[in-house]
Amino acid sequence: MYTSRISGLGFYVPEHVVTNDDLSKVMDTNDAWIQERTGIKERRHILPGDGNTTSVMGTKAARIAIERAGIDPNDIELIIFATLSPDMYFPGGGVQVQDQLGIGTVPALDVRNQCSGFVYALSTADQYIKTGMYKNVLVIGSENHSGGLDMTTRGRGVSVIFGDGAGAAVVSRNETGAGGILSTHLHSEGKHKDELALQGPSTGYWVPQIIEEDPQEDIPYYPYMNGQFVFKNAVVRFSEVIQEGLQANGLGVDDIAMLIPHQANLRISQFIQKKFGLSDDQVFNNIQKYGNTTAASIPIALTEAWEAGKIKSGDLVVLAAFGSGFTWGSAIIRWA
> Among this protein's residues, is 292 annotated catalytic?
yes
Distance separating alpha carbons of residues 153 and 29, to the nearest angstrom: 8
> Which one of the listed residues 233, 262, 285, 286 is annotated catalytic?
262
> Which one of the listed residues 20, 113, 115, 145 is annotated catalytic?
115
Distance separating alpha carbons of residues 125 and 328, to the nearest angstrom: 17
Contacts of 191 (CB under 8 A, 6+ apart): none
- 1 C-beta neighbours (distance < 10 Å), count: 6
> Among this protein's residues, is 192 annotated catalytic?
no
Residues 164-197 as b/e (b if ≥16 CB within 10 A, e otherwise) read bbbbbbbbbbbeeeebbbbebbbbbeeebeebbe
Candidates 290, 261, 326, 293; CA nearest to 143 is 293
> Among this protein's residues, is 115 annotated catalytic?
yes
Distance separating alpha carbons of residues 298 and 238, to the nearest angstrom: 14
Hey, which residues are catalytic here? 115, 262, 292
